[in-house]
Copies of this chain bind each other. A is one copy, B any other.
Amino acid sequence: MQLGIVGLGRMGGNIARRLTKAGHDCVVWDRNEAAVKELGAEGSRPAGDLADLVAKLDAPRAVWVMLPAGGPTEGTIATLAGLLSPGDAIIDGGNSFYKDDIRRAAELEPKGIHYIDVGTSGGVWGLERGYCMMIGGVKEAVDRLDPIFAALAPGRGDIPLTPSREGRDLRVEQGYMHCGPAGSGHFVKMVHNGIEYGLMQAYAEGFDILKNKKSEALPANERFTLDMADIAEVWRRGSVVSSWLLDLTSIALAKDETLGDYPGEVADSGEGRWTVMAAIEEAVSAEVLSAALYTRFRSRQDHTFSEKLLSAMRFQFGGHTEFKNGK
């Protein structure tokens, strides 16, 4: 099946590779010419610009946009909207805010262009493992692109089937799902990432407690010097907390138990923030997901104004001096 792909970064490039290997015909473009050439050498058809990419596809066309959320995605979709024809489809496979999807789908509908949002999980492992996809859009458009999604998805693999799923959508067990109308794919992916923040923070706090059990602030007979790498590894087999994130934790700790290469400043993406905002809009209590987000905010600061104010109050009421330079 034909597919245009715009944006050949880590994710977009590997999507083209995985599709090409599966026998699909990818027409690719990126403003980075080297990336286009590289994919061309691996079996994709290179395009010179967006218009050329569109021209190289047969109607009804489908173009997968895999660019950073916000400006780059917005601009590219606007340009494509002018180049495509009724019956064509634009797929936003990036990390767009789902409210932008809802708006774009409504804008494209009068032109007869289908808008499909695909939340794509899998990271750098996706090329090999396949991508878990959460898809939003009109049924007929999503169904038409099924061969693409099926090729990108991980498939059933050797993961045990879940009981009581008889009669349910079989695509789900392959690792992709049509979640609902436009926006719903990115919404589900957004919450997926919010959960990811919470899971990561749960492990992180736990290992922090394990690591600090050797602290000299504790009574001497209550201190343990524990092996972080072995603990992560042992939990991978038979324990309740086994997970893919734990597998990755074990890999990282086996390489260097001190994690000394990482300064500890942790980025956050829009999706973690949007998940908390969605919770607030729905009046859902999201303590853990929020705390996980805030931890990242704090990790990127030397000290907060908030902390200084605490010290200032303590000085005022108790004469507690937490001054710089021991002043």
Pairwise interchain contact B317-A236, C-beta atoms closer than 8 A: no
Q: Which residue, A238, A255, A281, A299, has most C-beta atoms of chain B within 10 A?
A: A238
- Is the CB–CB distance between A280 and B306 below 8 Å? no
Which chain B residues lie closer than 8 Å to A194 at the CB level? 205-206, 209
Interchain CB contact under 8 A, B195 and A254:
no
A324:B172 contact, CB within 8 angstroms: no
The answer to whether A215 and B285 have CB atoms under 8 Å apart is no
B-chain residues with CB within 8 Å of residue A179 when the two chains form the complex = 224, 226-227, 231
Find chain B residues with CB under 8 A from A197 CB: 202
Q: How many residues of A contact B (CB 8 A)?
A: 160
A134 located at the interface, meaning its Cβ lies under 8 Å from any Cβ of chain B in the complex? yes
Are B307 and A266 touching (Cβ within 8 A)?
A: yes
Specify the chain B residue showing the minimal Cβ separation from A177: B234
Residues A256-277 near B (CB distance < 8 A): 259, 261-268, 273, 275-277
What's the least CB distance linking A175 to chain B, in Å?
A: 3
Are A238 and B130 touching (Cβ within 8 A)? yes
Interface residues of A in 192-226 (CB under 8 A from B): 192-213, 215, 217-218, 221-222, 224-226
**30 A-B interface contacts by CB (under 8 A):** A102-B221, A122-B239, A123-B318, A134-B231, A154-B237, A154-B238, A162-B233, A165-B233, A165-B254, A172-B230, A173-B237, A177-B233, A187-B226, A191-B206, A194-B205, A196-B240, A204-B305, A207-B306, A240-B317, A243-B244, A252-B315, A259-B308, A262-B322, A262-B323, A264-B302, A266-B310, A285-B306, A287-B287, A287-B291, A288-B295
Q: Taking the complex as formed, is A282 at the interface, i.e. its CB lies under 8 A from any CB of chain B?
A: yes
**Per-residue 0/1 for A142-171: is the Cβ within 8 Å of any B Cβ (1 yes, 0 no)?**
000000000001111111101111001100
